[in-house]
């Protein structure tokens, strides 16, 4: 991919070293292993860019593997959405699509092998008892009374578990390691549990399911993964994965941990995102406020910009939180170069140009993108009745307000100077419409006598305008780290009730008649907007992708 340059970070260092040492005969094989229990978020994008990116850079392969070991939470809807989002991001796994569930039989055989080696046993303790027996970080665990069952008995019981003889939760298969290990993961972890549940791929073939810990390392080994890259919380699981592979005497991938992505003012956990969806805090997984890939797509973020973001944040060993202003900064930078400028008025205030002939209209020339001369110009219609933004007029302006007010002259972008001569009011005191006069000599926006104005306003012609609904978004949560809550509190209490504002009666310039879902624009002075995927011929809907104000520039300076 052309946006990938020579990069360096601790993972690439390791890979270069391994290549130099001819490890794995110079083979590089990574994988992205999502659990299909929700839609992908921007944190996953970091992992996707890393794993698929490494395969591209080092002429390797990256597998897509669904870690589908938990039949209660997984659905094929998620499998489809994950595939769609990865493709949209610009990555391709080709033929290399795998499912941990394809290894269920193999994993069962591996488990039987461990039992035969005396390294696994069937345990009848309840989940709660297992927890109690496990001990704590400071206290060693206690051995299960079932720990010394004979190999023969274990083989029989495990077979019977598979055959459906026992109810859910009545027995588990555990590895026999060390109940006094300082690493809790090594204290006889559970390998299989009984669950009489239908699986999205294996149907009712199985009523015992392998745990993630028992599945993950072996799946990597089966697929001959060379570099198994995962997030830091799995560092403590690595000794366990190594132990399993050692006991089974099978190929060892190299596991490398990196810090997960956290972003301010949002959450990065599928469980929490699912809750927002199910409890209708947001309108689905692709709500433009969501940190999901599908939400960001609908919001108007491009795959290129998301990849660029992932590249810029880099990978490291230390946990950190990225300011959401930085993500928006990257989005804005790209749109500044690419998005066509247009004019649209969100909260229209009617302006009558008293000295402009009733039936006259004319076309003025507007620049499509000052950052890109090749984008050319377009014509915008001007006539006697216009709209400007309500907030661009004040009857009694304070000192620093330079926009329109009675007696004041301002420029209408690409058009004329206008001066306000009267403000007509409704009974309640609000402004009904303004009356202005224009100076025909200022056509195009400059006065031949050199006089200056202090403000330039955007506007649209009433007669030519098209109506639209515009959705303005703010941060999803009111707190920088909404997931960090005191005991008993709920992250949803930090939900920002003002994160969505729907503006219904906007007036846009007529060139937007041809706007199609996904098209991006800069509405002058208001921000970058995209046409929503739910737009119809009857109703044009825009999402504000990002405002014009670069908060990151401010943060960077301080
Ligand atoms: P969540 O907590 O959101 O459910 P998860 O880690 O359980 O995330 P998986 O489907 O298991 O989700 O993740 C697939 C891959 O994406 C894993 O390799 C995981 O390490 C990686 N990943 C998940 N979240 C992040 C993140 N915030 N930053 C970087 N990588 C992530
Ligand atoms: Mg997970």
* 440 class by beta-carbon count within 10 Å (0-12 exposed, 13-18 middle, 19+ buried): exposed
pLDDT at 306: 98
Predicted confidence band of residue 5 (pLDDT cuts 50, 70, 90):
low
For residue 478, give the DSSP letter.
Answer: S
Angle of helix 303-313 relative to helix 76-89, nearest 10 degrees, comes to: 80
Q: Give the ligand at the shortest distance from the Cα of 66.
A: 1
Predicted confidence band of residue 558 (pLDDT cuts 50, 70, 90):
low
- Residues 236-240 have a mean pLDDT of 97
Residue 3 has pLDDT above 50, yes or no: no
Q: Give residue 314 CA to ligand 2 midpoint distance, Å.
A: 21
Q: Give residue 27 CA to ligand 1 midpoint distance, Å.
A: 25
Pocket lining: 411 vs ligand 1, CB cutoff 6 Å: no
Tell me how far apart the alpha carbons of residues 364 and 82 are, in angstroms, rounded to a whole number: 47
Pocket lining: 73 vs ligand 1, CB cutoff 6 Å: no
The answer to whether the beta carbons of residues 220 and 175 sit under 8 Å apart is no
Alpha carbon separation from 100 to 105, 118, 122, 355, 540 (Å, rounded):
10, 25, 23, 75, 44
Q: Give the ligand at the shortest distance from the Cα of 36.
A: 1
* Three-state SS at 174: strand
The answer to whether the beta carbons of residues 199 and 101 sit under 8 Å apart is yes
Residues 6+ apart with CB under 8 A from 21: none
pLDDT at 557: 72
Query: Is position 260 annotated as part of the catalytic site?
Result: yes
Domains along the sequence of the chain with CATH: 4-260 (3.40.50.620), 270-340+468-557 (2.40.240.10), 344-458 (2.40.240.10)
Ligand 1 probe mutation, 31, 44, 262, 317, most atoms within 8 A of CB: 44
For residue 493, give the DSSP letter.
Answer: G
Catalytic annotation, pick one of 260, 443, 475, 479: 260
pLDDT at 2: 44
Q: Give residue 420 CA to ligand 2 midpoint distance, Å.
A: 62
* Three-state SS at 145: coil
Tell me how far apart the alpha carbons of residues 520 and 339 are, in angstroms, rounded to a whole number: 6
Q: What are phi and psi of 554, to 5 degrees?
A: -65, -50
pLDDT at 345: 98
pLDDT digits (tens, 9 = 90+) for 499-509: 999 999 999 99
Quote the tokens at residue 217.
């390392």
The answer to whether the beta carbons of residues 439 and 510 sit under 8 Å apart is no
* Three-state SS at 471: strand
Pocket lining: 348 vs ligand 1, CB cutoff 6 Å: no
Catalytic annotation, pick one of 12, 23, 27, 35: 35
pLDDT digits (tens, 9 = 90+) for 407-424: 999 999 999 999 999 999
530-558 burial, b for 16+ CB within 10 Å, e for fewer? bbbeebeeeebbbbbbbeeebebeeeeee
Rg (CA), the chain: 31
Tell me what the pLDDT averaged over the chain comes to.
96
Q: Which of 330, 343, 260 is nearest to 41 (CA)?
A: 260
Angle of helix 303-313 relative to helix 324-338, nearest 10 degrees, comes to: 140
CA 287 to chain centre: 11
**Model pTM?**
0.95
Quote the tokens at residue 109.
């055989």
Q: Which of 193, 528, 493 is nearest to 335 (CA)?
A: 528
The answer to whether the beta carbons of residues 114 and 120 sit under 8 Å apart is yes
């Amino acid at each position: 991919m052309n946006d990938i340059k020579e990069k360096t970070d601790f993972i690439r260092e390791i890979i270069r070293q391994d290549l130099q040492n001819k490890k794995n005969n110079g083979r590089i094989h990574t994988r992205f292993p999502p659990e299909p229990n929700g839609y992908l978020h921007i944190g996953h994008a970091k992992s996707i860019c890393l794993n698929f990116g490494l395969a591209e850079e080092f002429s390797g392969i990256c597998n897509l593997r669904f870690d589908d070991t938990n039949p209660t939470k997984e659905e094929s809807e998620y499998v489809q959405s994950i595939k769609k989002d990865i493709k949209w991001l610009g990555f391709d796994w080709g033929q290399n699509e795998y499912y941990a569930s394809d290894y269920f039989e193999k994993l069962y055989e591996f488990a039987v092998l461990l039992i035969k080696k005396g390294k696994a046993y069937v345990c009848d303790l309840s989940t709660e008892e297992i927890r109690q027996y496990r001990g704590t970080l400071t206290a060693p665990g206690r051995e299960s009374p079932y720990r010394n069952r004979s190999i023969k008995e274990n083989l029989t019981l495990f077979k019977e578990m598979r055959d459906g003889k026992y109810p859910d939760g009545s027995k588990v298969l555990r590895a026999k390691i060390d109940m006094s290990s300082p690493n809790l993961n090594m204290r006889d972890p559970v390998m299989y549990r009984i669950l009489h549940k239908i699986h999205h791929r294996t149907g009712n073939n199985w009523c015992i399911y392998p745990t993630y810990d028992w599945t993950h390392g072996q799946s990597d080994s089966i697929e001959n993964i060379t570099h198994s890259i995962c997030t830091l919380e799995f560092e403590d699981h690595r000794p366990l994965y190594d132990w399993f592979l050692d006991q089974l005497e099978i190929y060892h991938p190299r596991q490398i941990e990196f810090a997960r992505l956290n972003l301010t003012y949002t959450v990065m956990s599928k469980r929490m995102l699912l809750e927002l969806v199910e409890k209708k805090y947001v309108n689905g997984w692709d709500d433009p406020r969501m940190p999901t890939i599908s939400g960001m797509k609908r919001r108007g973020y491009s795959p290129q910009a998301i990849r660029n973001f992932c590249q810029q944040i880099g990978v490291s060993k230390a946990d950190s939180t990225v300011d959401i202003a930085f993500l928006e900064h990257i989005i804005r930078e790209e749109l500044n170069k690419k998005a066509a400028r247009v004019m649209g008025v969100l909260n229209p205030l009617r302006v009558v140009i008293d000295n402009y002939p009733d039936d006259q209209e004319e076309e003025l020339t507007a620049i499509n993108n000052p950052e890109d001369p090749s984008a050319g110009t377009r014509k915008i219609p001007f006539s006697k009745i216009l709209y400007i933004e309500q907030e661009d007029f004040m009857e009694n302006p304070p000192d620093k307000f330079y926009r329109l007010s009675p007696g004041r002259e301002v420029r209408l972008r690409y058009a004329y100077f206008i001066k306000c001569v009267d403000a007509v009011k409704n009974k309640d005191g609000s402004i009904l419409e303004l009356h202005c006069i224009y100076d025909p000599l200022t056509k195009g926006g400059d006065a031949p006598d050199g006089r200056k104005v202090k403000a330039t306003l955007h506007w649209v012609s009433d007669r030519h305008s098209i109506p639209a609904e515009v959705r303005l978004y703010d941060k999803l949560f009111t707190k920088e780290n909404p997931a960090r809550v005191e005991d008993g509190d709920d992250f949803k209490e930090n939900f920002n009730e003002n994160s969505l504002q729907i503006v219904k009666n906007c007036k846009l310039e007529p060139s937007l008649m041809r706007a199609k879902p996904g098209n991006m624009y800069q509405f002058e002075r208001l921000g970058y907007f995209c046409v929503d995927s739910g737009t119809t011929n009857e109703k044009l809907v825009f999402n504000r992708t990002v405002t014009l104000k670069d908060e990151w520039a401010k943060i960077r300076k301080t």
